[in-house]
Amino acid sequence: GQQVMQIPQYQHVQEGEDFTTYCNSSTTLSNIQWYKQRPGGHPVFLIQLVKSGEVKKQKRLTFQFGEAKKNSSLHITATQTTDVGTYFCAGPPTIYDKVIFGPGTSLSVIP
Amino acid sequence: EPEVTQTPSHQVTQMGQEVILRCVPISNHLYFYWYRQILGQKVEFLVSFYNNEISEKSEIFDDQFSVERPDGSNFTLKIRSTKLEDSAMYFCASTALLQSTDTQYFGPGTRLTVL
């Protein structure tokens, strides 16, 4: 079945440093979604990418969907302590399939 | 902004007991989901529900689990005979459309502890 992997599992950065997490799927995805989960909280939808090679930005966050629609990345520029949390990618093979979550990358930001 | 609510926030139960976790999805949403997250691990899909029936379920969702929409607002997950390994956060989510391109709104979760 479909598997979604993310690296790294954990990342500790100094405040102000950049951060990137990578997401890889064993199958082609119809879309990729990113969620953020703060410690003790629930997943919150950040963004969705649909098109091959698509790049979207949200302030300091840049999301990219690979040309083959099997991988994605999230890049945070100049991290802040408010960025702390676990970032999950998730995606289905088709729009009618269930969304499969990756294992997440846990980000710690040292002030 | 509308939100998904879940009760209770924390449920402690003895192994073998039945538990019912409750969710109130966003009012105009039609598709409902339950996910499970074991502490420190990823979010795992359990089941999706539409038009009063299960649309899809994972291998985790065995005969011990059942879902129900008893009225126009609540969506429940029942675990008939809890096991220690059922201890986890259980998240309810809802979408307006049956397409994964539609945003999933997650509830705050119920932490289930099985002793």
| Tens digit of each residue's pLDDT (9 = 90 or more) over A37-49 | 999 899 999 999 9
**Are A97 and B103 inside 8 Å of each other by CB?**
no
* Best A98, A100, A105 residue to mutate vs chain B (most B CBs within 10 Å): A98
CA dihedral B37, B38, B44, B47 (to 10 degrees): -80
A15–chain B Cβ distance below 8 A for any pair: no
A89–chain B Cβ distance below 8 A for any pair: no
Whether the per-residue pLDDT at B98 is higher than 80: the answer is: no
Which residues does B53 contact at the CB level (< 8 Å), separation at least 6? none
Return the structure tokens found at A9. 């599992």
* Best A42, A87, A96 residue to mutate vs chain B (most B CBs within 10 Å): A42
Residue segments in chain A with a per-residue pLDDT below the cut of 70: none
Could you tell me the maximum CA-CA distance found in chain B, to the nearest angstrom? 39
- Sole residue written with tokens 């969710």: B23
What is the structure's pLDDT at B61?
Answer: 95
**Are B45 and A97 inside 8 Å of each other by CB?**
no
pLDDT tens readout for residues A5-24: 999 999 999 999 999 999 99
What is the structure's pLDDT at A59?
Answer: 96
What is the structure's pLDDT at A96?
Answer: 78
Tell me how far apart the alpha carbons of residues A75 and A78 are, in angstroms, rounded to a whole number: 10
Whether the per-residue pLDDT at B40 is higher than 90: the answer is: no
Cβ contacts of A48 on chain B, cutoff 8 Å: 101, 103
What is the structure's pLDDT at B1?
Answer: 77
- Sole residue written with tokens 């089941």: B47
**Are A50 and B107 inside 8 Å of each other by CB?**
no
**Beta bridge partners of residue B57, listed in sequence order:** B47
Return the structure tokens found at B111. 């932490």
Nearest chain A residue (CA) to B92: A42
Q: Where are the beta strands (DSSP E) in A8-70?
A: 10-14, 19-25, 32-37, 44-49, 55-58, 61-65
For B35-86, the three-class secondary structure string (H helix, E strand, C coil) is EEECCCCCCEEEEEEECCEEEEECCCCCCCEEEECCCCCCEEEEECCCCHHH
